[in-house]
Structure 1
Amino acid sequence: MPLSIFGFQALWSPYLIGIIVCLIIVYFLVTVVWRKHFKVSESLKKSEVIYFLIGMITFYIIKGSPVDVTSLILFTMHMVQMVFLLFVLPIFIIMGIPWWIWKLIIEAPVVGKIFKYCTLPVVSVLVFTFTFSIYHIPSVFDTIKTDSTFHGLVTLVLFLSAFFMYWPLVNTVPGQPQMKGLYKIGYIIATAIAITPACAIIVFSKEPLYSTYTDGEMWLKAMALCVPVSTLSNISITISGPELFTNLSPISDQQMGGVLMKIMQEIILGTLLVIVFRQWWRDEHVNEEQITENALKEFQAKKREQQY
């Protein structure tokens, strides 16, 4: 059965397009037109514009295009959606917004204290792992998927936890704590390991875990998250569940989703690991001669002191 049965509004989310266009307009107003009103500012870089626009496009694709509807039919697509929401989008948002705007936000009286604590490396990894794991507990997952308000709040919490997890790795804000190269490498490895148990439970389960992908009534409630109630009520007589849109069995779909989540997450974090390692290696070798020269001078100075 084709996805077009759900209608244009459900498949392409015109309201979200409007919201994203407004966000882009505000972004350019603040970073270009109103920049002179800030005490500290800097001209908008081309790379920042590219990162931000890619972030907005990514956000629309995963939450506004047919990908969103498909994620309610296939657990595999849901996991792909989560990969881009939690492991890709935060990077583009952090790198797309100029440092002076971030500095203004994170140094605000109340926000600053919360931000400082939430972006501590150990805290951020633990919070992200905890949030991600709790979200995928079957009873919690099904409850979230059948309540639009709860779903929106939890999605925001998940995204913020991923944002805080990435901040120590990619932020370039002056005055903010900067992790050294080797610490970043360990941090990335720890993050990859921390979420493995949640993915493993999904992959190695011998039966389907989530009722919103197996029970027709629960599935229809979940579909109401993005399909208008009027449309859903008209087609609910002709559709009974996600099995009408896919040949995958629920358990195969679930296992494929878990495997794909882990593989994609490893690719993303692995790419970051390579970038961080190369940067660390380059920095070490650029300063190698200076470090050796300073060490030699220090050794010679100590030797002269011992002689006298």
Structure 2
Amino acid sequence: MLGLQYFKFQAVWSPMFLFATIAVVIAYLYIIGPWREKHFPMEKKASGGQIALFISAAILYYITNGGPSSLLGHIMFSFHMVNMSVSYLIVPPMVLASIPSFVWKKVFSAPIWQKFKFLMHPIVTLILFNMTFSIYHIPIVHDYVMTHFTVHRVYYVVMLIMAFMMWWHVITPVKEWAKLAHVKKMAYIFANGVLLTPACALIIFTSAPLYSIYSDPEVWAQAMGYCVPGDPRDLLAQFEGPQFFNMFTVVEDQQTGGIIMKLVQEVTYGVLLGFVFRDWFNKEHKQEDLDAKLLKEAMLVNHNK
């Protein structure tokens, strides 16, 4: 149970977050269904795979930000890094791939978005996401964000937006808006992996505790006060800190979190690199076959003459 049995239902499952997630899924189903049929009847329907992908993304995001894994992320750093990996490396590309292109065109058709077009340059999105993510894992920044509720919510929303902006150039749901060809896209994914490595290395190879909320009971209780009803002092009286739940030492838990983050990053980027390479390979061979066919037809025409 990993200690979840010590907490009340609302602390483990965050009912309001659950209802919000269900509302988002219902809105998605309405937009790709009745709303599309009414306003965009000629647009292609979302496939069953896209629907399954969106619902899966919604479930993953709920579990890691409002469900059991979110609570465990306030107790163990390893779970915190699972949550970060899923929220910013897995969910955004799933959402981008699951929403039909006509929705994106409708959302970003307003002229006001032209004023922010410079922010979608691939280099800008690359730097913004990795900078935002890496700064968050500087110990003093991380502890401050985790112990200040409003800052925590705002920072997480900003990171999510940066993640969508970064992944847009890899998934690009509106193909005519693509800014990167296949080879550049592969270089872009590789660069993301390189830029994220220092933050992971800092966590994995440091032999001392970095984050107070996982080593200092007072700071931990303050952070837990935002996700567990009641007085944080009661948590200290009952559990005496996060180590009550963790079979690892603080440093071992910290290193495990860094390894999880790096592994998820490598697997995610590797899978997407494979998809991009496959598309590029198929496109190149399709063009070669077409060129060969045209050459053969031209030779036959000349021969007949």
Normalised to the residue count of structure 1, the TM-score between the two structures is 0.90
Match 1:80 to one of 70, 79, 82: 82
The residue number in structure 1 matching 2:172 is: 171
Q: 1:32-71 alignment to 2 at 5 Å?
A: 32-38=33-39, 41-71=43-73
* Bigger Cα displacement from structure 2, 185-194 vs 284-293: 284-293
Q: 2:261, 2:204 → 1: CA distance?
A: 10
Question: 1:103 offset after TM fit, Å?
Answer: 0.7
Counterpart position of 2:285: 285
Identity fraction in percent: 34
Asked if structure 1 preserves the Cα contact closer than 8 Å seen for 2:92 and 2:163, the reply is: yes
Task: Summarize deviations over 1:141-172 as a string: whole Å, max 9, x none.
Answer: 00100111111110111111111111011023
8 Å Cα contact 2:218/2:236 also seen in 1: no
Structure 1 CA distance for aligned equivalents of residues 199 and 267 of structure 2: 18
Structure 2 match to 1:303: none
- Tell me, in whole angstroms, the C-alpha distance in 1 between the residues paired with 2:112 and 2:252: 47
Equivalent residue for 2:194?
A: 193
Pairing 1:213–2:214 present = yes
- 2:302 corresponds to: none
Whole-Å separation in 1 of the counterparts to 2:134 and 2:188:
19
CA displacement at 1:225 relative to structure 2: 2.4
Q: Secondary structure at the match of 1:175?
A: helix
| CA deviation after TM superposition for structure 1 residue 45, in Å | 2.2
1:152 corresponding residue in structure 2: 153
Runs of 5+ in structure 1 lacking a partner?
299-308
2:8, 2:272 → 1: CA distance? Answer: 39
Structure 1 residue 44 displacement after superposition: 2.8
Task: Judge which range, 61-70 or 262-271, deviates more.
Answer: 61-70
2:256 corresponds to which residue? 256
Aligned to 2:237, the other structure's residue is in SS state: coil
- Report which stretch shifted further, 11-20 or 32-41: 32-41
Distance 2:44 2:294 in 1: 35
What aligned pairs does 1:232-247 form with structure 2 within 5 A after superposition? Answer: 232-247=232-247
What does 1:222-233 correspond to in 2, within 5 Å?
A: 222-230=223-231, 232-233=232-233
- 1:159 maps to amino acid: L
Amino acid at match of 2:29: F
Amino acid at match of 1:238: Q
**CA positional deviation for 1:43:** 2.4
| Structure 2 residue runs without a partner (length 5+) | 299-305
Give the aligned partner of residue 118 of structure 1. Answer: 119
Confirm or deny: 8 A CA contact 1:83 1:265 kept in the other structure: yes
| 8 Å contact from structure 1 (residues 4, 11) kept in 2 | no
CA distance in 2, matches of 1:105, 1:276: 26
- Could you tell me how far apart the structure 1 residues matched to 2:114 and 2:50 are? 23
State the superposition RMSD in angstroms. Answer: 2.0
Q: Which residue of 2 aligns with 1:305?
A: none
Q: CA deviation at 1:133?
A: 1.1
Find the aligned partners of 2:87 and 2:156 in 1 and give their Cα distance.
9
Equivalence for 2:32: 31
| Range that drifts further, 168-177 or 39-48 | 39-48
Judge conservation of contact 1:91–1:170 (CA < 8 Å) in 2.
Answer: yes
Alpha-carbon distance in 2 for matches of 1:295, 1:218 = 72
Query: Do the aligned partners of residues 233 and 186 (structure 1) sit closer, same or farther apart at CA in structure 2, a change above 3 Å counting?
Result: same
Shift of 1:65: 2.0
TM-score by structure 2 length?
Answer: 0.91
- Mapped partners of 2:146, 2:219: distance in 1: 9
CA-CA distance at 1:61 after TM superposition? 1.5
Q: How is 1:11-30 mapped onto 2 (pairs within 5 angstroms)?
A: 11-30=12-31
Partners of 2:46 and 2:99 within 8 A in 1: no
Aligned residue pairs total 296
Deviates more, 1:46-55 or 1:289-298: 289-298
Equivalent-residue separation in structure 2 for 1:205 and 1:196 (angstroms) = 14
In structure 2, distance between residues paired with 1:90 and 1:77: 19
| CA offset digits 1:145-202 (Å, max 9, x no partner) | 0111111110111111111111011023143124211111111111100111111111
Please tell me the residue identity of whatever aligns with 1:132: F
Where has structure 1 moved over 3 Å in runs of 4 or more?
39-42, 232-236, 291-298
Contact 2:43 2:102 in 1 (8 A): yes
For the structure 1 residues 174 and 263, does the alpha-carbon distance in structure 2 shift closer, same or farther, using more than 3 Å as the test? closer
- 1:37 positional shift: 4.1
Structure-2 residue corresponding to 1:89 = 91
| Paired amino acid for 1:244 | F
Contact 2:209 2:251 in 1 (8 A): yes
Q: Is 2:274 the partner of 1:274?
A: yes
- Aligned AA (1:190): A
Distance of 2:284 and 2:3 partners within structure 1 = 56
